[in-house]
Homo-oligomer: A and B are copies of this chain.
Amino acid sequence: MASLVTFGETMLRLSPPNGTRLETATELDFRSAGAESNVAIAASALGTSAVWLSKLPDSPLGRKVTRDVRSHGVDPHVTWSDDGRQGTYYLEFGAPPRQIDVIYDRADAAVTTATPDELAVERIRDAEVFFTSGITPALSETLCTTTRALLEEARATETTTAFDLNYRSKLWTAESARETYEELFDLVDLLFVPERDAREVLNIEGSAEMIGKQLRDRHEPATVVVTRGENGALAVDKTGVVEQPVYEAETVDPIGTGDAFVGGYLTRHLEGGSTASALAYGAATAALKRTVEGDHFVGTRSEVDAFVDDGTKDGISR
């Protein structure tokens, strides 16, 4: 029985070497990546039993994704499809003033037609926490319906529901997103919201703390976690506001940092840790993720434990 079940799309990630632009590239790094499998992978690395649900084309590309997810210790429950593409994205690393550029090529992915009856919904029923992100309903009408259905299924069986807003401006407008999110929020027990998305998508004003409080007020009894990038994070739960500063880290690859945060948070939550402890584990897992290439947290529980205890380290261990 898995503690954590996640559902969402996992794409292939194609990226040229840092410093090379896509249009002059001659070779690409080839990985897999997706918010919900990223979360499962981080949680699994910290000791959580994790399952990832998705739908993939029955092809070498779909198998590549599944192999990668499984290698991290997550148990993939994949619905194999003869129709639909394997979603991909091209990632071009930038250096200021060039932003990192993400070019999605994920239209008509197999997952966009996934319905609850073809997914291993029983795994959600048995789980302690079910997680999906705000990317999933953005992918298709069908997935919008499916996302709602899965959250309802979880609610019906007393599985905690967790949701990360994760707004993607390249997938839909802020208006469409807001409308969808507001319908889903009442099904969510644990809500992660990037501060910028709260402002730009949800149109909530004020300080981060005020954002968290407003969201908590609207969707009580949910716990609301506002993630603030380099400014750390804060949570508003029944005990009030808990703040968490960021852990400094050298950035090797920033993609997936937010997902690692969620994976670390959920692990401590599943272990019965306090909100403060969950935030600390989220922040530490996120910091360590930044030092590693790829979307995925790669490391051990003992590394995160030590980092939560001792803070930043430099130098050589020999």
Residues of A within 8 A of B (CB): 14, 16-31, 59-61, 63-64, 67-68, 70-73, 85-86, 88, 90, 92, 94-105, 107-108, 168-170, 247-255, 287-288, 290-294, 298-300, 303, 307, 311-318
Report the minimum CB–CB distance from A87 to chain B (whole Å). Answer: 10
A318 neighbours in B (Cβ, 8 Å): 102, 104, 168-170
- Whether A102 touches B312, Cβ cut-off 8 Å, given contacts A95-B250, A96-B250, A298-B24, is no
Rank and list the top 8 A-B pairs by shortest CB-CB distance, nearest first.
A102-B318, A71-B71, A95-B250, A22-B60, A19-B293, A95-B291, A97-B312, A19-B252
Asked whether, in the complex, the Cβ of B23 is within 8 Å of the Cβ of A102, the reply is no
| A128-B60 Cα distance, complex, nearest whole Å | 30
- Whether A102 touches B317, Cβ cut-off 8 Å, given contacts A26-B29, A97-B312, A298-B24, is yes
Asked whether, in the complex, the Cβ of B25 is within 8 Å of the Cβ of A27, the reply is no
Asked whether, in the complex, the Cβ of A71 is within 8 Å of the Cβ of B68, the reply is yes
A170 neighbours in B (Cβ, 8 Å): 317-318
Give the oligomeric copy count: 6
| A276-B261 Cα distance, complex, nearest whole Å | 46
| A249-B303 Cα distance, complex, nearest whole Å | 29
Closest to A290 in B: B95
Asked whether, in the complex, the Cβ of A23 is within 8 Å of the Cβ of B97, the reply is no
A291 neighbours in B (Cβ, 8 Å): 19, 94-98
| A307-B98 Cα distance, complex, nearest whole Å | 9
Asked whether, in the complex, the Cβ of A97 is within 8 Å of the Cβ of B25, the reply is no
Report the minimum CB–CB distance from A228 to chain B (whole Å). Answer: 14
Q: Which of B73, B85, B294 is the one whose CB lies under 8 Å from A105?
A: B85
| A61-B14 Cα distance, complex, nearest whole Å | 12
Closest to A316 in B: B100
Q: Which of B22, B26, B107, B247 is the one whose CB lies under 8 Å from A97?
A: B247
| A104-B7 Cα distance, complex, nearest whole Å | 27
Asked whether, in the complex, the Cβ of B100 is within 8 Å of the Cβ of A292, the reply is no
Asked whether, in the complex, the Cβ of A60 is within 8 Å of the Cβ of B103, the reply is yes
Report the minimum CB–CB distance from A257 to chain B (whole Å). Answer: 10
Asked whether, in the complex, the Cβ of B316 is within 8 Å of the Cβ of A102, the reply is yes
Asked whether, in the complex, the Cβ of B29 is within 8 Å of the Cβ of A97, the reply is no
Closest to A284 in B: B97
Q: Which of B21, B71, B253 is the one whose CB lies under 8 Å from A70?
A: B71
Report the minimum CB–CB distance from A177 to chain B (whole Å). Answer: 14
